[in-house]
């Protein structure tokens, strides 16, 4: 692919192989769709109108949902159109007036979340959690190697990057007593989310091979977790209030087409998955993504996504295996991304071994769980062509006291 004529900062990971989507606004103008290129946004609505593009009205919407619902042919056509505009010099005079500096734009919630499902797909994470919470039991639940375990979260509490997170309250154990109050073990989970564009039909499962027919792209996810509330409530039905108070997502939705060179073979599975969960021949959907977790400016972890046991294609196949349908705007997340090494663990629960092994911050202070005022940022990138990195952007949030929500 030829280089873009748009000047790119040396550190930029938003080149013409990335072209991530966002919803943005400027001053008092209505939110609309844009595509990131370097440190600028391509304002799609006026450009599409000027070009008399079919369906140009979808770009003036304040959500990606109408565009995502158009399906893969439209996604591919728009990506090809934008690539041509940004790489062929004769288009420069047409395009330049529609480039908006990111510094002048406010990034909004990129899509309307219809439903939210969170999985549990990292073997390293699942084993660590088993050792911490269930030391007398097997590290992995009985079903874990047979299917992608997950739970149904709350779409209404998915929030955009930059939203403050109010410390949640709930019931938790305090010695021999059960008390109600703010969590004392507020945690993060570094994850990757997958955004559904094309809905499926109720009663008809989505096969692994049809993953790219339905999923539009990926976002970064921080699934905030109150570990003491979670530990008390989660038997026998799993996470509830310890998870449902907030989930943050990045403002950028990176299309699947940008991740073509990041696709790798998944780990070996033992036992062999059921037929509906087997990888499609020649179509692996494990992804070589690298995440980075920053806590108050200190990098504390670099979780490797390529090691995830279950792929996003298998997760979609499983969440529809009983005939459940998906809708435009459905979000499902990978579960915490953790590697084998301590500095590859994607949660503070694992990094500090439930508070018993503090992390030393850049200022020399040992820390375990999140305190009010702390800021956590998760960033990420993917393997691209010719050693290029495909940027996934970042998702950030700052903790506010429980009283801030009263």
**CATH code for the domain in which residue 275 is found:** 3.90.850.10
* pLDDT tens by residue, 148-189: 999 999 999 999 999 999 999 999 999 999 999 999 999 999
* pLDDT tens by residue, 115-141: 999 999 999 999 999 999 888 888 898
* 145 and 94 within one domain: no
- Check whether 110 has a pLDDT greater than 90: yes
* 130 and 40 within one domain: no
**pLDDT > 90: percent of the chain:** 91
Last residue of some domain: 107, 128, 159?
A: 107
Return phi, psi of residue 49, to 5°. Answer: -65, -40
Is 16 domain-assigned? no
* 158 and 96 within one domain: no
* For range 318-342, the mean pLDDT: 98
How much is the pLDDT for 1? 55
Is 249 domain-assigned? yes
Is 53 domain-assigned? yes
The better pLDDT of the pair 29, 403 is held by 29
* 199 and 62 within one domain: no
Token couple for 205: 């499962």
Q: Which of 44, 18, 20, 19 is nearest to 31 (CA)?
A: 44
- Looking at the 3D structure of the chain, how many domains does it have? 2
pLDDT grade for 57, boundaries at 50, 70 and 90? very high
pLDDT grade for 85, boundaries at 50, 70 and 90? very high
pLDDT grade for 234, boundaries at 50, 70 and 90? confident
Catalytic-residue membership of 98? no
How much is the pLDDT for 352? 98
* 175 and 82 within one domain: no
* 138 and 57 within one domain: no
* 71 and 152 within one domain: no
The CA distance from 162 to 235, in Å, is: 32
Residues 6+ apart with CB under 8 A from 109: 23, 63, 159, 160, 251
Is 13 domain-assigned? no
* pLDDT tens by residue, 249-303: 999 999 999 999 999 999 999 999 999 999 988 788 999 999 999 999 999 999 9
* 283 and 192 within one domain: yes
The residue range of the domain holding 69 is: 21-107
- Check whether 406 has a pLDDT greater than 80: no
* 168 and 47 within one domain: no
* 135 and 74 within one domain: no
Token couple for 73: 């042919």
Catalytic residue among 17, 98, 124, 125: 125
Is 227 domain-assigned? yes
* 299 and 176 within one domain: yes
CATH number at residue 78: 2.30.30.230
> Residue 11 gets which letter from DSSP?
T
Last residue of some domain: 83, 107, 131?
A: 107
Is 138 domain-assigned? yes
Q: Which of 216, 293, 302 is nearest to 258 (CA)?
A: 216
Is 12 domain-assigned? no
* 240 and 123 within one domain: yes
Global pTM? Answer: 0.97
How much is the pLDDT for 236? 84
Is 76 domain-assigned? yes
């Amino acid at each position: 692919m030829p280089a873009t004529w748009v000047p790119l900062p040396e550190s930029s990971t938003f080149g013409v192989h990335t072209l991530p989507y966002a919803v943005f606004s400027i001053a008092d103008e209505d939110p609309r769709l844009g595509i990131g290129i370097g440190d600028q946004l391509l304002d799609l609505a006026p450009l599409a109108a000027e070009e008399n593009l079919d369906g140009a009205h979808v770009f003036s919407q304040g959500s990606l949902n109408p565009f995502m619902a158009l399906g893969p042919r439209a996604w591919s056509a728009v990506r090809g159109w934008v690539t041509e505009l940004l790489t062929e010099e004769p288009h420069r005079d047409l395009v330049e007036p529609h480039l908006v500096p990111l510094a002048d734009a406010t990034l909004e919630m990129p899509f309307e979340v219809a439903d939210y499902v969170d999985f549990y797909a990292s073997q390293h994470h699942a084993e660590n959690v088993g050792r911490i919470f269930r030391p007398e039991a097997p590290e992995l639940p009985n079903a874990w190697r047979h299917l992608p375990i997950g739970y149904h979260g709350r779409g209404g509490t998915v929030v955009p990057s930059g939203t403050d997170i109010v410390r949640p309250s709930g019931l938790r154990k305090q010695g021999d007593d059960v008390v109600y109050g703010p969590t004392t073990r507020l945690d993060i989970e570094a994850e990757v989310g997958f955004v559904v564009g094309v809905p499926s039909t109720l009663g008809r499962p989505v096969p692994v091979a049809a993953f790219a027919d339905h999923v539009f792209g990926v976002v970064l996810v921080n699934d905030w977790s109150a570990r003491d509330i979670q530990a008390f409530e989660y038997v026998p039905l799993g996470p509830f209030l310890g998870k449902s108070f907030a989930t943050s997502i990045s403002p950028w939705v990176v299309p699947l087409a940008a991740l073509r060179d990041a696709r790798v073979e998944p780990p070996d599975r033992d036992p062999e998955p059921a037929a509906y969960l087997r990888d499609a021949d020649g179509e692996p959907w494990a992804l070589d993504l690298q995440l980075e977790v920053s806590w108050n400016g200190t990098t504390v972890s670099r979780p490797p996504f390529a090691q995830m046991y279950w792929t996003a294609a298998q997760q979609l196949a499983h969440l529809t295996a009983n005939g459940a349908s998906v809708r435009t705007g459905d979000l499902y997340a990978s579960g915490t991304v953790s590697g084998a090494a301590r500095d590859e663990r994607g949660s503070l629960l694992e990094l500090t071994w439930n508070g018993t092994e503090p992390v030393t911050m850049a200022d020399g202070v040992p820390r375990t769980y999140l305190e009010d005022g702390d800021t956590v940022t998760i960033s990420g990138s993917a393997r691209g062509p010719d050693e290029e990195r495909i940027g996934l952007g970042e998702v950030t949030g700052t903790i506010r006291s429980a009283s801030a929500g009263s």
